[in-house]
Amino acid sequence: MGALDDWMDEVEAAAEVRKTVRTLRAWRKRRVGPPYTQFGRTVRYHRPTFVEFFKANQIAPLRTRRP
């Protein structure tokens, strides 16, 4: 098992959430979106933290529709 097995690059992360790399870069520029780490110029996303970010940001409807 390698040291970076839990880390995704931009392409992998974008594919994971069905977004483009450009979208991830825009999120970083605006300081929104999942946490990331930079290794020099390389951006990586920690897979467990990435998944947890999206789970934590789920929006539940206040009420359900009646039949």
Q: What pairs with residue 42 in β-bridges?
A: 39
Tally the domains of the chain. Answer: 1
In a domain, 22, yes or no: yes
Cβ count within 10 A of residue 15: 12
Q: pLDDT tens for the chain, 67 residues: list them.
A: 787 789 999 999 999 999 999 999 999 999 999 999 998 999 999 999 999 999 999 998 887 666 6
The number of residues making up the chain comes to 67
Q: Give me the domain span that covers residue 14.
A: 7-56
Tokens representing residue 18 in the block: 């069905």
Tokens representing residue 6 in the block: 């839990």
